[in-house]
Amino acid sequence: MQGFAGFMWLLSMALIIFSGFALFDAAVRREDAYRAADKKTKPFWLIILAIAFVVNLLFPILSFLPIIGLIATIVYMVDVRPAIRALPGGGRSRRGSSSDGPYGPYNGGR
């Protein structure tokens, strides 16, 4: 029985890390990337993934709420994240460089 409890604890930690990574990934993506990829809005995914993260922290793995949170996290990771990453710039928030011009980076005539 102790081996099963240890396995369930490891599985629970893996779910918490997985949902935490998805939440962090959704937080660093640009708002307009969600609209450009024709997915729901950034606040929608942040709320869904935050709820999934909290549910994974509070409830045991064998209840149905963490399973629903896992499904939401998988949908984000398999459907939304690849669509956003396929956009130019990968959907990441960018900070302009000092060499950026109005039409993109200036490379000095190279």
Considering the chain, what is the average pLDDT of its residues?
85
Identify the CA nearest to 77 among candidates 94, 52, 106: 52
pLDDT digit string, tens, across residues 54-91:
999 998 888 889 999 999 999 999 999 999 988 887 66
Q: Is the dihedral of CA 79, 23, 20, 48 positive or negative?
A: negative
The C-alpha torsion from 65 through 50 and 56 to 66, rounded to 10°, is 20
Q: Is the pLDDT of residue 48 over 90?
A: yes
Of the pLDDT bands very low, low, confident and very high (cuts 50, 70, 90), residue 92 is: low
Q: Is the pLDDT of residue 110 over 80?
A: no
The pTM score is: 0.76
pLDDT for res 94: 58
